[in-house]
Amino acid sequence: MSKKYTIPRSFKFAANGLKIAYEKEPNFRTHSVTTLIVLVAAYFFNFSSTEYAILILTIGIVLTLELINTAMEAIVNLVSPEIKDMAKVAKDVSAAAVLLAATLAVLVGILLFLPKIILVLT
């Protein structure tokens, strides 16, 4: 495998991908803003290192799948600009992966935050 680009240039490409996703994908913006809110809440609830690790991994999975979904949609739109059954399957299943991860992230959030919220309220 040849090395076509330097490591800093590869990071620049990746940063550009994040920028594109943030600017053009409303769902990625929603997940990003939610991430900030959740991390601030975790700070105020004094999460342990383990709780932070679980939270960050969960958030990372959702954001990563959202980026993969965005890439999948772009590829499908490129190779199949007209609506075809198989193109729809690819896009719908990719979106379903994000939905499943986001739903599971909410459940993880409930498991992590609910005991702390109850403790504050009692």
Catalytic residues: 66
First and final C-alpha spacing in the chain: 60
Fill in the DSSP letter of residue 30: H
Do residues 59 and 40 make contact, with C-beta atoms less than 8 angstroms apart? no
Tokens of 77: 């739109």
Assess contact for 40 and 65: CB atoms under 8 A. Answer: no
The 8-class DSSP code of residue 5 comes to: S
